[in-house]
């Protein structure tokens, strides 16, 4: 029989705190009847965010096209929903039950390329787009290609989203940390990047790529133009590919800030010798369709022979789920002004984004007012990442476990994302409903005071 000794070290060493031991403990407690407030993961619809009506109406018709022939269909669905469903059915050809081509429906990739063009005023091509089961899968494909040897390294921010450290471990590569500057709003500094790659080199690591998460997870920071330019120049100088995780591009809550894509800045600078892999997803933004597993990967400045290898890799898993591909299509192709659904769609969308903004403030300000907790107001994404003072010999894992046991609030220790040694943090999403956010603040305040006064 199989034993732990037979399991690959790459698996044994991988860590994914977002669903790690504290979350499993929370699941146990919930089964025993304890009320849990799930702040561990950016899973909007598990926290009462409703799906957009437009998206689900169309999916409903596309899953069961016979419904379009029902005599009541015009009473049930808005005219633009019916029209869009007919368009999708005509273009998907075999419906949702057939494997699509490996990169995904061509009409969806066309729509994604037009979305990029409209967003950034740059050209984009359907053949450079891969539809994926969530952005995670896109990251997996890219890192599978790039990590060729045990001393191949990938730079990741600290703190980071632990998908990246987990994939690097699973693929047998080396994690090369660069530290974000907490005191400077978690921005990147060239000095920190240079230090990081220099240290890696001294350890014999061949650094091949840099991961940038913008807006930041867990930090909530939004990178400015200058920062992005600096990173592109750094990547060029060190011959690194850039993996730009841009899944939170719609989640910006600071009126002074704006999402700028790596693709746009690269085109502006006319940089053609730095390979770029950009990730986007329907799980975040205002759709929050996590369970549908829909994302895309766009590649730029990749020679055709490398793109062919990526295509082969993608083809081994056949294709991403077809319903998810349709959701992605709708994400980049929302109803237009004048369409029957436009008003409801816009109302739902701004309802979600405005509520997120309020909750980002509520949670961060609330926590920041607690003695011993320092919490920045996030400019983007879905999380706060407060810094906490802890008693001697206590770790953030101890803290988060105690918090869970005594209050039912489930957050993830900063160690799961990485942090400057000697500092402690936790990540909490501000997705729960507003009344629950208030409870979370009260519970944490009460807990923190007791915990640190022992």
Q: 314-373: which residues touch a second copy (CB under 8 A)?
A: 315-324
Which of these ranges, 153-161, 189-197, 309-317, 408-416, lies near a second copy under the rule CB under 8 A?
309-317
Shortest Å, Cβ 64 to a second copy: 4
Complex with a second copy: residue 136 or 364, whichever CB lies closer: 136
Residue with the two structure tokens 């592109």: 232
CB half-sphere exposure, 51, CA atoms < 13 A: 17
Which of these ranges, 56-64, 121-129, 247-255, 395-403, lies near a second copy under the rule CB under 8 A?
56-64
Q: Does 57 engage in binding with a second copy (CB under 8 A)?
A: yes
- Residues touching a second copy, count (CB under 8 A): 92
Shortest Å, Cβ 3 to a second copy: 6
* Per-residue tokens: 224: 């400015």
Q: Does 146 engage in binding with a second copy (CB under 8 A)?
A: yes
Q: Does 421 engage in binding with a second copy (CB under 8 A)?
A: no
Neighbouring C-beta atoms of residue 374, cutoff 10 Å: 14
Looking at 114, 125, 144, 257, which residue binds a second copy (CB under 8 A)?
A: 144
How far from each other are the two terminal CA atoms of the chain, in whole angstroms?
A: 47
Identify the three-state secondary structure at position 210.
strand
Complex with a second copy: residue 67 or 362, whichever CB lies closer: 67
Q: Does 387 engage in binding with a second copy (CB under 8 A)?
A: no
Q: Among the residues of 32-162, which ranges form H helices?
A: 53-63, 73-76, 79-92, 106-120, 134-146
Looking at 25, 43, 342, 368, which residue binds a second copy (CB under 8 A)?
A: 43
Biggest alpha carbon distance in the chain? Answer: 72
Q: Does 293 engage in binding with a second copy (CB under 8 A)?
A: yes
| CA dihedral of 77, 83, 86, 92, whole degrees rounded to 10 | -110
Spatial CB neighbours of 151, under 8 Å, sequence gap ≥ 6: 174, 204, 205, 206
Which of these ranges, 144-152, 222-230, 404-412, 414-422, lies near a second copy under the rule CB under 8 A?
144-152
Neighbouring C-beta atoms of residue 200, cutoff 10 Å: 21
Subset of 229-268 contacting a second copy (CB under 8 A)? 241
Q: Does 172 engage in binding with a second copy (CB under 8 A)?
A: yes
CA distance 375 to 156: 23
Looking at 51, 233, 254, 269, which residue binds a second copy (CB under 8 A)?
A: 51
Q: Does 90 engage in binding with a second copy (CB under 8 A)?
A: no
């Amino acid at each position: 029989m199989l034993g732990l000794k037979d399991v690959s070290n790459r698996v044994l060493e991988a860590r994914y705190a977002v669903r790690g031991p504290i979350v499993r403990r929370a699941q146990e407690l919930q089964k025993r009847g304890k009320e849990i407030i799930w702040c561990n993961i950016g899973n909007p619809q598990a926290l009462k965010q409703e799906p957009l009506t437009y998206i689900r109406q169309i999916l409903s018709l596309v899953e069961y096209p016979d419904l379009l022939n029902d005599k009541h269909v015009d009473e049930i669905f808005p005219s633009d929903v019916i029209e869009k469903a007919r368009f999708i059915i005509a273009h998907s050809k075999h419906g949702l039950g057939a494997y699509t081509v490996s990169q995904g429906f061509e009409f969806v990739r066309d729509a994604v390329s037009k979305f990029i063009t409209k967003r950034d005023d740059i050209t984009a091509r359907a053949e450079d787009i891969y539809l994926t089961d969530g952005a995670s899968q896109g990251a997996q494909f890219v890192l599978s290609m790039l990590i060729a040897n045990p001393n191949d390294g990938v730079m990741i921010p600290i703190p980071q989203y632990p998908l990246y450290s987990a994939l690097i471990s699973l693929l047998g590569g080396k994690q090369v940390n660069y530290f974000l500057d907490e005191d400077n709003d978690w921005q990147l500094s060239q000095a920190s990047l240079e230090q990081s790659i220099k240290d890696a080199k001294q350890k014999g690591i061949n650094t091949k790529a840099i991961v940038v998460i913008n807006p930041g997870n867990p930090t909530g920071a939004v990178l400015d133009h200058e920062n992005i330019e600096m990173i592109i120049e750094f990547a060029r100088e060190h011959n690194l590919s850039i993996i730009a995780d841009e899944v939170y591009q719609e989640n910006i809550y600071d009126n002074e800030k704006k999402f700028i894509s790596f693709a746009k800045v690269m085109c502006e600078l006319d940089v053609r010798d730095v390979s770029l892999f950009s990730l986007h997803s329907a799980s975040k933004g205002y759709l929050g369709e996590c369970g549908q597993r829909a994302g895309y990967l766009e590649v730029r400045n990749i020679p055709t022979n490398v793109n062919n290898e990526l295509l082969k890799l993608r083809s081994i898993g056949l294709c991403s789920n077809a319903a998810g591909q349709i959701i992605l299509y709708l994400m980049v192709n929302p109803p237009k002004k004048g369409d029957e659904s436009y008003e409801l769609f816009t109302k739902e969308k701004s309802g979600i984004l405005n509520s997120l903004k309020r909750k980002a403030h509520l949670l961060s300000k609330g926590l920041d007012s607690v003695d011993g907790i320092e919490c920045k107001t996030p400019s983007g994404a879905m999380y706060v990442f407060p810094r906490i003072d802890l008693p001697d010999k206590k770790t953030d894992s101890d803290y988060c476990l105690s918090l869970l046991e005594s209050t039912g609030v489930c957050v993830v220790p900063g160690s799961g994302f990485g942090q400057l040694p000697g500092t402690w943090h936790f990540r909490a999403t501000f997705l729960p409903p507003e009344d629950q956010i208030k409870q979370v603040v009260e519970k944490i305040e009460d807990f923190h005071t007791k915990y640190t006064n022992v």
